[in-house]
């Protein structure tokens, strides 16, 4: 019996699949057929790829290849329609992926299976890029895990396909957004992240304009991302207007200071009508004062950007508190008055630990 781990087809791009079939003595167009079946048709087994000859399917199997898609280990439904998936990878590690639908009336669905159909107007899939996270933001539950490993491109893109299949979402996918804001720091897994973006655009069919990547500020990779021919929009997790406070909240600031981060943001090449996003997690009596709002406005002056304000989502083992609603509103008003677009991000899935900063591979809520 062959005890070798299976090799994944999912995660290979069109060129790699073409080279794979050519080695097996097949014409190059079989690679495109395989690419189409994996990403656009979302087959669940090699036997479903009926465009390929049986002999080729058998050969790939004999060579140890399998689809290699991640699987759903558990799912948790929120009262606001959000679904948190515990996703199991081939080596047994687990990550989390979140589905966030919004209904035709602009409000979220009820979490029932009906949300997979036409009852939702648009939906967002939040995907992970690492098993755990190495950045150690002090206000984030994922930081308590540390980091175990990077995800492959197939494991990153595979989360999207697995959720789309589970929710029964047919193409085209103009109503689906993807945010790389789950577990991990995407720009510390740069090559696999960028390849996953290409697979989602060229294969699955999600426009790059519907994708956003969030980074804690890996400055060299921010510059690299700006040169990519296919890239998502950029969001920078800032959370403090100065080095002293940001270093306390986000230790990565010791390596890449605020001034250098803002310089990278100013240099980032934006498309027509595109804006950078700065994410600011508001922590009660820590970074939510009017003085800090004015300091942030001055820091971002002249940057083509908007600010997403996120009232901190609580979690066990963390020292912070959610700010008062009036403090959040005052902070927003100060930014707007300074000419900076500022929005309050509505929390989704708090009751199932699916909101921003809450992903921790928890299974305690298993139904």
Q: Which domains does the chain have, with CATH numbers?
A: 7-66 (1.10.150.530), 71-352 (3.20.20.70)
- Average confidence score pLDDT of the chain: 89
Q: What confidence category does residue 367 fall into, taking pLDDT thresholds of 50, 70 and 90?
A: very low
Question: Which residue(s) pair with 94 in the sheet?
Answer: 88
Catalytic residue among 19, 47, 96, 329: 96
* Packing angle, helices 153-167 and 190-198, rounded to 10: 40
Q: Which two tokens stand for residue 1?
A: 């019996």
Q: What confidence score (pLDDT) does residue 319 get?
A: 83
Catalytic residue among 133, 137, 140, 356: 356
Q: β-pairing, 65-66 with 342-344?
A: unpaired
Residue pair 87/76 in contact by the 8 Å Cβ criterion: no
Q: What is the mean pLDDT of residues 144-169?
A: 95
- Measured CA to CA in angstroms, residue 313 lies from 94, 139, 251 at distances of 22, 9, 20
* pLDDT exceeds 90 at position 140: no
363 versus 73: which is more confidently predicted? Answer: 73
Q: Whose structure tokens read 């940057």?
A: 303
185 belongs to the catalytic site: no
DSSP, collapsed to helix, strand or coil, labels residue 195 as helix
96 belongs to the catalytic site: yes
Which residues in 90-223 belong to E strands, given as ranges?
Answer: 94-103, 120-126, 130-132, 147-150, 176-180, 211-215
Residue pair 81/115 in contact by the 8 Å Cβ criterion: yes
Per DSSP, 288 falls in state -
DSSP, collapsed to helix, strand or coil, labels residue 70 as coil
Q: β-pairing, 130-132 with 83-88?
A: unpaired
Integer Cα distance of 127 and 159 in angstroms: 7
Residue pair 173/141 in contact by the 8 Å Cβ criterion: no
Integer Cα distance of 65 and 235 in angstroms: 36
Start-to-end C-alpha separation, the chain:
37
- Measured CA to CA in angstroms, residue 286 lies from 67, 239, 334 at distances of 47, 10, 17
Q: What confidence score (pLDDT) does residue 365 get?
A: 39
Q: What is the pLDDT of residues 224-283, one digit of tens each?
A: 999 999 999 999 999 999 999 999 999 999 999 999 999 999 999 999 999 999 999 999
Q: What is the pLDDT of residues 287-338, one digit of tens each?
A: 999 999 999 999 999 999 999 999 987 766 778 899 999 999 999 999 999 9
Q: Which two tokens stand for residue 237?
A: 């997790």
Q: What is the pLDDT of residues 200-213, one digit of tens each?
A: 999 999 999 999 99
Task: Say which range, 53-67, 116-130, 190-204, 344-358, has the weakest mean pLDDT.
Answer: 344-358
Integer Cα distance of 310 and 345 in angstroms: 5
Integer Cα distance of 183 and 87 in angstroms: 12
Q: What is the pLDDT of residues 161-220, one digit of tens each?
A: 999 999 999 989 999 999 999 999 999 999 999 999 999 999 999 999 999 999 999 999
Residue pair 343/308 in contact by the 8 Å Cβ criterion: yes
DSSP, collapsed to helix, strand or coil, labels residue 271 as coil
* pLDDT exceeds 60 at position 105: no
Q: What is the pLDDT of residues 4-48, one digit of tens each?
A: 557 999 999 999 999 999 999 999 999 999 999 999 999 988 888
């Amino acid at each position: 019996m062959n005890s070798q781990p299976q090799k994944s087809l999912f995660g290979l791009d069109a060129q790699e699949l073409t080279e794979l079939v050519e080695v097996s003595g097949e014409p190059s167009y079989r690679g495109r057929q395989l690419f189409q079946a994996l990403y656009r048709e979302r087959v669940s087994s090699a036997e479903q790829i009926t465009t390929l000859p049986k002999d080729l399917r058998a050969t790939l199997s004999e060579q140890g290849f399998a689809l290699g898609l991640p699987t759903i280990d558990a799912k948790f439904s929120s009262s606001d329609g959000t679904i948190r998936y515990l996703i199991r990878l081939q080596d047994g590690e687990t990550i989390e992926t979140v589905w966030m639908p919004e209904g035709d009336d602009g409000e979220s669905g009820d979490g029932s299976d009906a949300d997979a159909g036409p009852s939702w107007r648009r939906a967002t899939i939040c995907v992970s890029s690492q098993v755990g996270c190495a950045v150690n933001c002090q206000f984030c539950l994922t930081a308590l895990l540390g980091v175990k490993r990077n995800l492959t491109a197939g494991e990153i893109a595979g989360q999207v396909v697995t959720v789309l299949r589970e929710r029964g979402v047919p193409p085209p996918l103009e109503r689906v957004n993807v945010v790389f804001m789950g577990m991990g720091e995407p720009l510390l897994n740069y090559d696999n992240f960028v390849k996953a973006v290409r697979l989602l655009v060229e294969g699955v069919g999600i426009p790059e304009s519907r994708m956003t990547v969030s980074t804690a500020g890996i400055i060299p990779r921010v510059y690299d991302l700006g040169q990519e021919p296919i890239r998502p929009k950029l969001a920078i997790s800032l959370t403090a207007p100065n080095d002293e406070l940001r270093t306390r909240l986000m230790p990565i600031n010791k390596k890449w200071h605020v001034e250098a981060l803002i310089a990278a943001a100013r240099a980032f090449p934006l498309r027509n009508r595109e804006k950078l996003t700065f994410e600011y997690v508001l922590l009660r009596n820590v970074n939510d004062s009017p003085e800090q709002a004015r300091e942030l406005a001055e820091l971002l002056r002249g940057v083509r950007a908007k600010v997403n304000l996120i009232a901190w989502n609580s979690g066990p083992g963390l020292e912070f508190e959610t700010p008062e609603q009036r403090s959040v509103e005052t902070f927003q008003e100060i930014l707007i008055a300074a000419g900076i677009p500022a929005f309050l991000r509505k929390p989704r899935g708090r009751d199932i630990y699916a909101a921003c900063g809450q992903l921790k591979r928890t299974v305690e809520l298993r139904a």
